[in-house]
Amino acid sequence: MVLTPVVALVLFAAALQAQAPTALFEKAPPDVDAALRERVRLFYQAHVDGKFRLADAVVHEDSKDAYFAAEKTRYKGFEIIRINYSENFTRAQVVTAVVTDFAMPGFPSAEARVPITTLWKLDGGEWWWYVEPPGEGRQTPFGTMKPGEGSGADNPFALLRKMPSAEEIQGQVGVDKTEVRLGPGGAGEVVVTNRMPGPVTLELELPAQAGFEAKLERADLKAKEQTRILFRAPASAGTGSSELRLRVLPINRVVAIRVLISGAEPAAATPKL
């Protein structure tokens, strides 16, 4: 399954939203736009195929040393998301979503779509990948970084600083309570809510207790969906307690739910399991 690592999803959404309002009205002539897209596809397809010399064929002569010195990453796929033109359609910033392995502390490495911004210029009738001259910018895997741009909306490193922690990410899948009280033969429920931007899978680890039942209405939850865990205590149960665990994948969150059974409490209506 292709994870929507929350990290990558945040980066991707922010990159799309960072488009300047004026760019919406700067539509390039069709032949200019088609020519640029063809060169960008050649560049990224070379990175998919691992044929970096082919990518070098669209690198401007002034930037070949920078490209040669840069770390080369082999991608699994790509998609051109947005092109912002400037200087009478002779310069362009191209935002491309690349499919690559993405890792974040607290999470396993997973396949993700990550936005990358590259610079292109028209020279001699051809579009060329280039980097800013020394002192004007620094090329990074996320595009060109200029001095003073540490908090810009298009700066993925600024986005990383704003991203939620692993604990906050895990907290986006939660339950309405972590303790259930039942009488003998009684029933109850816990509501599980997925506030993640992508799907999760739920698993239950049940206690070894004769007659005790717990069941998920649904194991797979899409974004913003809810489901219930249904409980039923044995009719002959005495006073006691047990604990079950709800595991949320792929974020690997474990929620402990305590079940208290008291002979003094009347049995509730039993939901169908």
Return the pLDDT at 272. Answer: 53
pLDDT tens figures, 243-258: 889 988 877 788 999 9
Return the pLDDT at 51. Answer: 92
C-alpha distances in Å from residue 69, one per residue of 57, 65, 220, 259: 15, 6, 45, 60
For the CA atoms of 204, 178, 184, 265, the dihedral, rounded to the nearest 10 degrees, stands at -170
Inter-residue contact 117 to 129 (CB < 8 Å): no
pLDDT of 227 higher than 80:
yes
Cα 205 from Cα 256, distance rounded (Å): 10
Q: Could you tell me which residues come within 8 angstroms of residue 99 by beta carbon, excluding any fewer than 6 positions away?
A: 2, 75, 76, 77, 78, 111, 112, 113
Q: Which residues of 65-74 are buried (b: 16+ CB within 10 A; e: fewer)?
A: ebbeeeeeee
C-alpha distances in Å from residue 250, one per residue of 109, 185, 200, 228, 253: 11, 34, 6, 19, 8
Tokens 């020394």 sit at which residue?
134
pLDDT tens figures, 4-56: 444 444 444 444 444 444 444 458 899 999 999 999 999 999 999 999 999 99
Inter-residue contact 188 to 180 (CB < 8 Å): yes
Half-sphere exposure of 116 (CA within 13 A, CB side): 20
SS3 state at 146: coil
Cα 76 from Cα 199, distance rounded (Å): 22
Judge if pTM exceeds 0.75: no
Q: Place 175 in a pLDDT band, splitting at 50, 70 and 90.
A: very high
| Greatest C-alpha distance within the chain | 88
Could you write out the DSSP letters of every residue in 216-239? ES-SEE-TT-EEEEEEE--TT--S
CATH fit for domain 6-163, picks 1.10.357.10, 3.10.450.50, 3.40.640.10, 3.40.50.720: 3.10.450.50
Cα 249 from Cα 218, distance rounded (Å): 14
Cα 272 from Cα 253, distance rounded (Å): 27
User: Domain 172-261 has what CATH class?
Assistant: mainly beta
**What backbone torsions phi and psi does residue 76 show, to the nearest 5 degrees?**
-100, -10
| 130, β-bridge pairs | 119
Return the pLDDT at 153. Answer: 45
Give the amino acid at 78: F
* Domain ranges (residues) in the chain: 6-163, 172-261
Cα 116 from Cα 52, distance rounded (Å): 17
Inter-residue contact 51 to 135 (CB < 8 Å): no
